[in-house]
Amino acid sequence: MDIKELKLTPKRKEICERLELPDSDAILSYYPFRYDYLEAKHYEDFMIGDNVCFEGELISSPSTFRFGRNRSSTKFRVLYEEEVLEITIFNRPWARNLHVNHPITILGKYEGRNKIVATNYYEKPISEVAGIIPYYPLKEGINQNDIRKLIQSVYLKCAGELEDIMPEKYREAHHLVSYQEAVHGIHFPSSKEELQKSLARLKYEEFLRFYTSLLLIKGSGNETIKERKVFDQRRIEELISSLPYELTEDQEISLRDILKDLSSEKIMYRLLQGEVGSGKTAVALISLYANYLAGYQGALMAPTEILARQHFLSCEELLRPLGVKTVALYGAMENSREVKRMIRDGEADIVIGTHALFSEDVEFRKLGYVIADEQQRFGVKQRKKLREKGENTDFLLMSATPIPRTLASSIYGDMDISTIMTMPKGRKGCKTYLIRKNSVVDILGDMKKTLKEGKQIYIIAAAIEKSDGYKAKDVEGLYESLKEVLLPYRTGLLHGRMDADEKDQIMKAFRDNEVQVLISTTVVEVGVNVPNATMMIVYDADKFGLSQLHQLRGRIQRGSEEGICYLLTSSKEESSLKRLQVLTETNDGFKISYEDMKLRGPGDILGTRQSGLPTLVLGDLLNDTRFIDAARKDAAEIMENKDLEANRIFLGKIAESAAKKVID
């Protein structure tokens, strides 16, 4: 049911709009992120560090102390089972209005010596609040009761009409509750057992939808046979020998795997993953040369113009002497019509570009190989659209967000995976420091010393311009304030709203060391190669994901000098500081990606959002292996038995949902 049919009160309609919940399905899928288990615990059973819940009598007037900005602590004493307990609760200044000699139920952590840090309190007996209390993600001006009442209201109106699209066979095989029972149990659980059964059902269904969608998108065509690509291995060896560096063992293995795929009858569908600066691009360009030798056109798709232009220059430098014609195609190009003609007529051997490659009027004469760099930036539908511009086209995805092989297999299904773990010889990595201040005051001396030594610096900001709704340093403001401070060195400004020529000029000036300090947004996150830049400063580091920060600092690991990265933050949140601390302890992209997924969820890291694939809300790719294994197997079985009515209904709903998501 949509919002109009639900006949909600004006306030509840406003909540739905603010939380972007357009219908009953979205509202009932707005799941709690945690629960309070309100079960009374006797004082004699309290252990230090325990989460405890009890009902006592307030015996002292609360005292509130304010500290920092908008922070406070309120203290009071409660009598419980003949013990006087000292309660502290943070950031609840209204607790000072509690009434002495009244019953109060406390939920919190026991610190020992009769001290408790409360997480919540209720001015009523425990008998009235006992049970399992759900907590939902909020926005300013919306409280927990607002959400709970909205969900209860919608559930009562829709409970009898909730459709269970999962084939009965799999529900019975895995002993799962019905969809209606699962929705009730996750929002209004009466016991831990009911909650666990509900989570099991909903997690399994998320994974089943996910893997079925993956199979639907991947290959509505079951055609996996292609004509073998035949190329002269000797000429490829000559190209490798001419390189000014030696390929690492991992690069050689990955290249061997890719060339084997190109020359086989099976269509390549491979993921090439590796650290920032590990040499994925070199492997990709050599494989494009092999594809050219076999008589086919190749396309390399990059997420930004800056990266696409850099790939174009690298390809030209490497392959032009060998007679390969490479062209570039971006969104705004004066000669785009001529470039498209060259592609159509087969005069262009390799095409490097951005999303412009998806355009309907881009036609290839004989496209045989497509590479998508930073593949998580492109939706699955987009990648498929480019691949279909050829016939039985080989496909390579590249990612600088490395993830463990078992996890990659879970996400990417039957895709083959090549991993480059070793870095090229001579790379010294990067040291990272966390500065608990959103200012360069304490490191200004280090910055000037680096510049005096002839090295260059990146300064990264999370915003382009000042915004009331987004509290972060902006590139324009930083540029204005720092360009004078860093004189006589020249400072440049770069962000995504600049036109292509401006970006090119700034990046060329930085590459040529005409600009020594580049103040930029994350447009430099991928692909930008300036070996002389050895320092990076990131403002508001808490606003970035770990994998993104790791990619950013990869910009200062391109040369033989050790890089230094400073992460600046004024955040006082322990979780944010703990997260950033990970980067100071390791340069291992696999560990960092793993930590990022634990903290942020897999969708943003792996590019599953806005791709036609269902988002995993409850499912955990790191820990829910039993659901993952079962759902993958069952999804394959459903695809093999599409004619069964229950499977046909399920697949129809999945396809409808995927199409809607891509449109949205």
CB atoms within 10 A of CB 270: 21
Q: Grade residue 567 by pLDDT with cuts at 50, 70 and 90.
A: very high
- B/e letters for 597-629, b = 16+ CB within 10 Å, e = fewer, are beeebbbbbbbbbebbbbbbebbbbeebeebbe
Confidence at 604, pLDDT banded by 50, 70, 90: very low
Q: Give residue-wise pLDDT tens across range 331-360.
A: 767 778 899 999 999 999 999 998 888 788
Taking each helix axis from N to C end, the angle separating 144-158 and 179-187, rounded to the nearest 10 degrees, works out to 160
Q: For residue 217, what pLDDT band results from cuts at 50, 70 and 90?
A: low
Supply the pLDDT for residue 381.
57
Return the minimum-mean-pLDDT range out of 135-149, 186-200, 246-260: 135-149
For residues 235-254, average pLDDT = 93
Which value, to the nearest 10 degrees, does the dihedral of the CA atoms of residues 474, 478, 480, 483 take? Answer: -150
Domain 233-420 has CATH 3.40.50.300: yes
Identify the pLDDT of residue 522. Answer: 83
Question: What average pLDDT does range 236-247 have in this prediction?
Answer: 92
Interval 250-260 mean pLDDT: 95
Q: What is the pLDDT of residue 611?
A: 45
- Which pLDDT value is given to residue 323? 94
Residues 239-261, mean pLDDT to the nearest whole number: 93
Whether the pLDDT of residue 99 is over 50: the answer is yes
Question: In the predicted model, is pLDDT for residue 376 greater than 80?
Answer: no
In the predicted model, is pLDDT for residue 222 greater than 50? no
Question: How does residue 498 score in pLDDT terms, banded at 50, 70 and 90?
Answer: confident
Q: What is the pTM for the complete model shown?
A: 0.60
Tokens of 605: 């890291």
pLDDT (0 to 100) of residue 557: 75
329 neighbors 351 (Cβ within 8 angstroms): yes
Distance CA 105, CA 78 (A): 10
> Does the pLDDT of residue 533 top 60, yes or no?
yes
Angle at 169 between CA 163 and CA 171, to 5 degrees: 60
Share of residues in the chain with pLDDT > 90 (%): 46
pLDDT for position 228: 93
User: Quick check: 612 and 659 in contact, CB under 8 A?
Assistant: yes
pLDDT at site 154: 93
Q: Which of 121-130, 305-314, 637-646 has the highest mean pLDDT?
A: 637-646
The pLDDT of residue 646 is 93
**For 29-48, how does the pLDDT look when each residue is reduced to its tens digit (9 = 90+)?**
999 988 877 778 899 999 99
**Residue 237: its pLDDT value, please?**
95
What's the pLDDT score for residue 380?
Answer: 54
Phi, psi dihedral angles at 90 (to 5 degrees) = -95, 145
Is 663's pLDDT higher than 50? no
Strand runs (DSSP E) across 16-82, as ranges? 34-38, 51-58, 63-67, 71-80
Mean pLDDT of the chain: 85
> What is the phi/psi pair of residue 243, to 5°?
-65, 145
| pLDDT at res. 608 | 45
Local confidence band at 269 (pLDDT 50, 70, 90 cut-offs): confident
Domain over 430-586 is classified CATH 3.40.250.10: no
Query: How confident is the model at residue 607, as a pLDDT?
Result: 47
How much of the chain, in percent, has pLDDT values that exceed 70? 88
Query: Residue 39 pairs with which residues in a beta bridge?
Result: none
Q: Give the lowest-confidence range in 65-79, 169-183, 617-631.
A: 617-631
Of 4-18, 217-231, 598-612, 623-637, minimum mean pLDDT range: 598-612
Give the pLDDT score at 336.
85
- Sorted by sequence, the CB contacts under 8 Å of residue 283 that are 6+ apart come out as 247, 251, 254, 255, 258, 272, 420
Residue ranges matching CATH 2.40.50.140 in the chain: 40-129
Greater model confidence, 537 or 306? 537
Local structure of 386: helix, strand or coil: helix
Tokens 């990606």 sit on residue? 593
Position 595 confidence tier, pLDDT thresholds 50, 70, 90: confident
Backbone angles phi, psi at 244, to 5 degrees: -80, 10
pLDDT value at position 405?
A: 62
Instruction: Please state the rounded mean pLDDT for residues 96-119.
Output: 92
Judged against a pLDDT cut of 60, whether residue 68 lies above it is answered with yes
613-622 pLDDT, tens digit each: 556 778 877 6
Which CATH number describes the domain made up of 40-129?
2.40.50.140
- Confidence (pLDDT) at 468: 45
Query: Which has more confidence, 593 or 66?
Result: 66
Give me the pLDDT at residue 282, please: 93
For 206, 215, 406, 644, the CA distances from 631, given in Å and listed in that order, are 9, 12, 16, 18
Q: Are 429 and 563 in contact (CB under 8 A)?
A: yes
List where CATH 3.40.50.300 sits in the chain.
233-420, 430-586
Task: Give the pLDDT of residue 425.
Answer: 72
Q: What is the pLDDT of residue 355?
A: 81
Look at residue 630 in the predicted model and tell me its pLDDT.
92
Whether the CB-CB separation of 602 and 181 falls below 8 Å is answered with no
Rounded to 5 degrees, φ, ψ at 353 are -165, -170
69: DSSP letter = T
Check pLDDT > 60 for residue 368.
yes
* Highest mean pLDDT of the ranges 58-72, 392-406, 582-596: 58-72
HSE (side-chain half, CA atoms, 13 Å) at 610:
8
Mean pLDDT to the nearest integer, 400-410: 65
Among 23-27, 224-228, 558-562, the minimum mean pLDDT is found in 558-562
pLDDT in tens, 203-213: 999 999 888 88
pLDDT for 495: 87
pLDDT digits 0-9 by tens, 290-316:
999 999 999 998 887 878 888 898 999
pLDDT at 382: 58
